[in-house]
Structure 1
Amino acid sequence: MKIILILLASFLFVTGCSSLKETEKNQPAEEVYIFDDVESIDADAAPDTLENQKQVEELPADEIKKKTVHFIVQLAAFSSRNNAEKFVESNSNKTEYELNIIYKDEVKMYTVQLFPFDSIEKAEMVRDKLKKIPEFKNAFIFTVED
């Protein structure tokens, strides 16, 4: 009888401990976020980071070029320059904006555009105003980066 009790107690002990281990395995590890202090980086620990930082700091201000975005209102496109010129002649008096003919080599078309705007809000305002004129009803905006 003692042997049966000892075996039963041993069995319960082993199964109890193994389920505790399984429970610990299934628990997600607590996430810890570590924020390094950039100034305390050891030069030996991260040489690439410090070297890149030095290179950026050493660039002269005139060599750091920011991209500029412009917004262009396009009014029409033609396969011949002659047709584009006729459009400009007959419609330039309908707006205070100058109409410019630009040849787009990638599409082999002559486009009629306004000078670029620096803000999308201004370009949208002008486009919406021009769309009320039947000849400019297809006006749209595209962006250009310098």
Structure 2
Amino acid sequence: MISDRPAARVVCVDGEGRVLLMRWHDPVSGRVFWEPPGGGMDPGETPLAAARRELFEETGLPGDAVADIWVPVERDYHWLGVHYVKVEPFYLARFTGTPDVRPSTLTAEELDTYLGHGWFTPAELGGLPDPVEPPAMAEVIALLFDAP
């Protein structure tokens, strides 16, 4: 099955220029990977509102930190036996210092698949032991850093 369910993600940058990634385990494929916080849009929800809601739910960080600055990112991945092919907006959120990440409202599915989080410099992304989604994450970060 292929899905194009709308979703939005947030590239969170701390005061040291590091990016927040969440670590997930797909029990269907056995794959472990890193990706920025975010997820599916609810019916009638704008992409920005979804990004802000998902950021708070997955990290406990304030949704209003998400700026209306984004880049479109082509996605082609598998999750829980579903093949997703779509374009997602990746938004930018900047923080002073390094905020505490405390998932506040994970779904049952997320609780079963969430393995933790980390803050990484763009240069560190290629050296992580598990893949980063999307594979062009360093380029996405560069585009967001250059956005007005």
Bigger RCO of structures 1 and 2 (CA < 8 A, at least 6 apart): 2
Specify which structure has the higher proportion of strand. 2
Specify which structure has the higher proportion of helix. 1
Query: Larger C-alpha radius of gyration, 1 or 2?
Result: 1
State the TM-score, normalizing by the size of structure 2: 0.24
State the TM-score, normalizing by the size of structure 1: 0.25
